[in-house]
Amino acid sequence: MGKDAGGGTREPQREVVQRGLYFEEMEEGVRYVHRPGRTATETDNVLFTTLTMNTQSLHLDAAWSAEQPFGQRLMNSMFTLSTLVGASVAQLTEGTIVANLGFESVRFPHPVYHGDTLYSETVILAKRLSESRPGQGIVTFEHTARNQHGVVVATAVRNTLMQCKGDAA
């Protein structure tokens, strides 16, 4: 609360709560740029890889990986995918998503290494009202992650079920 001109306290005029966008607020063809970026660390890679029981040596064994085609350990691609989608949450789906329906396409055209910074963006490819779930709509997102050099390192097309504004809980 602030002070009014007479030194007393005054109530805030309005309150803003962070949330994602409702179905009606999303426009096809719009590009949403998600910031800040996320620098991927060795700790991220080891923790994510071991938490998910992925024993792939390309993520865990520095000596072995040094002798492989990329010459070093790679970030776990599922970490890359999770970070790509996760970066969009606060801006697009926080509190407004009903469910992930699936991924049509996931690609990793360039490796991610320890120390790379991921920058993500999302384009709304399509949207339609759900035929079976009144008050909800299906939105197709195309997510893209680039590294600090602007090289595309991951893409994913994802379908989600979103709340319509009038039916929000």
Q: Is residue 145 part of a domain?
A: yes
Q: Is residue 98 part of a domain?
A: yes
Question: What local confidence, expressed as pLDDT, does residue 168 receive?
Answer: 47
Q: Is residue 4 part of a domain?
A: no
Q: Is residue 154 part of a domain?
A: yes
Report yes or no: 76 and 59 within 8 Å, Cβ to Cβ. yes
Q: How far apart are CA 132 and CA 37, in angstroms?
A: 37
Residue span of the structural domain in which 115 resides: 21-167
Q: Is residue 12 part of a domain?
A: no
Report yes or no: 48 and 76 within 8 Å, Cβ to Cβ. yes
Question: What local confidence, expressed as pLDDT, does residue 101 receive?
Answer: 98
Please name the helix (run of DSSP H) or strand (run of DSSP E) that holds residue 82, with its range, or none: helix 77-86
- As averages over each run of 10 residues, the pLDDT of the chain (169 residues) reads 66 82 95 97 97 96 97 98 97 96 97 98 97 96 98 98 79
The number of domains in the chain is: 1
Please name the helix (run of DSSP H) or strand (run of DSSP E) that holds residue 159, with its range, or none: strand 152-163
**Which CATH number is 126's domain given?**
3.10.129.10
Question: What local confidence, expressed as pLDDT, does residue 3 receive?
Answer: 65
Q: What is the dihedral of CA 105, 85, 44, 77, to 10 degrees?
A: 0
Q: Is residue 85 part of a domain?
A: yes
Q: Is residue 15 part of a domain?
A: no
Q: Is residue 10 part of a domain?
A: no
Contacting residues for 136 by C-beta, under 8 A, at least 6 apart: 23, 98, 129, 130, 161, 162, 163, 164, 167
Radius of gyration of the chain (CA): 20
Question: What local confidence, expressed as pLDDT, does residue 35 receive?
Answer: 96
